[in-house]
Amino acid sequence: MDGKLTGKICIFGGTFNPPHLAHKHMAEKVLDVFGFDRIIFMPTGNSYLKKQVLAASERLKMVTLFCDTNPLFDVSDYEARSDEPTYTYRTLSSLRDANPGAEFYFLLGEDSLRYMENWIHPEIIFECASIIAVRRDDQESYINKDDKRSFEDVARNLKDKFDARIFSVTFNEDISSSKIREAFKSGNGDSVAHMLKKEVYDYIIKEHLYV
């Protein structure tokens, strides 16, 4: 990611452990629905939420391979190059301050949206970026038995409390990074090859990842 950012920019963060075709198709749909000028894949570095993930340098390499064929896909090593725990509020605040000509959006799943109120400094996150929550057609009106609020209720609460700007997009393709990792670990990586971009699959095989 080079130079100053301008226009409508979507930040697609995550562990990408590994990046798979559902990530690609989701990004393509978001680009189409919202008309972004660019979508930036940002692999996490030392996440305070997820432990025992593949080294950030390996995940960054796979995401770079993954994004090479789409001119509207970009990759940022902003979080991956940090040895310290990474926090969304710091990332978005730094991006906003460094790129005053850009309008930022942050992509996440509906399940994550339900917990954003408990993230570190959610008020800064909502100040820096609009939120796009990915939903499923076949999803229940609540994610688990402990949270029976509808999506509309969750969004309304965040809007009222933080003046949050929240949008949603429906996406139903179901590919699991954990399933891919387990397949490679058990020696059946070929069974999930169709879930990965060829260059990413070849890199996993070459570097003996997830075994």
- pLDDT, residue 111, reads 87
Q: Is 204 exposed, middle or buried (0-12, 13-18, 19+ CB in 10 A)?
A: buried
Scored b (16 or more CB within 10 A) or e, 31-47 reads beebebebbbbbbbbeb
| Per-residue pLDDT tens digits of the chain, which is 211 residues long | 667 899 999 999 999 999 999 999 999 999 999 999 999 999 998 655 555 689 999 999 999 999 988 999 999 999 998 878 889 999 999 999 999 999 999 999 888 899 999 999 999 999 999 999 999 876 554 455 677 788 899 999 999 999 999 999 999 888 999 999 999 999 999 999 999 999 999 999 999 999 9
Q: pLDDT tens for residues 77-120? A: 999 988 788 899 999 999 999 999 999 999 998 888 999 999 99
To the nearest whole number, what is the mean pLDDT of the chain? 91
- pLDDT, residue 141, reads 47
* Domains defined for the chain, CATH in brackets: 7-175 (3.40.50.620)
Do 157 and 196 form a contact (C-beta atoms < 8 A)? Answer: no
- pTM, two decimals, is 0.91
